[in-house]
Amino acid sequence: MTTHSHQFVEKFDGFVGFGLSAESDMDTVIYYLQKFSDDQLMALLRKRLTDEDREAIFDLLSGLLRRHLSEPEYHRYFLKE
């Protein structure tokens, strides 16, 4: 059974760009994150990312998760436990 989904990027037909409004900024962030995490793109990038790149990505994402999710939310929504 699949536990992860990326439906937003598949269905979104709005404006993709940053700086127009808070709503379009959030849509764009979601769109970029879902596109960025595509398996084929990650297979290509994993060979090219430097140690510093990987550390920066990990630090940004883990910091956001710590700041914005409670521990139960982290386990439910991120770890999918």
Q: What sign does the CA torsion over 32, 35, 37, 43 have?
A: negative
- The rounded mean pLDDT for the chain is 94
Residues 10 and 37 in one domain: yes
Residues 25 and 61 in one domain: no
Residues 60 and 37 in one domain: no
Dihedral in degrees, nearest 10, Cα atoms 81, 76, 64, 19: 120
Instruction: State the pLDDT at residue 5.
Output: 85
Buried b (16+ CB within 10 A) or exposed e, 14-50: eeeeeeeeeebeebbeebeebeeeeeeeeeeeeeeee
Token couple for 20: 């127009």
Q: Give the domain extent around 72.
A: 50-81
Residues 13 and 38 in one domain: yes
Instruction: State the pLDDT at residue 1.
Output: 60
Residues 36 and 59 in one domain: no
Average pLDDT over residues 38-53: 96
Residues 40 and 54 in one domain: no
Residues 44 and 59 in one domain: no
To the nearest whole percent, how much of the chain has pLDDT over 90?
93
Average pLDDT over residues 47-68: 98
Average pLDDT over residues 53-63: 98
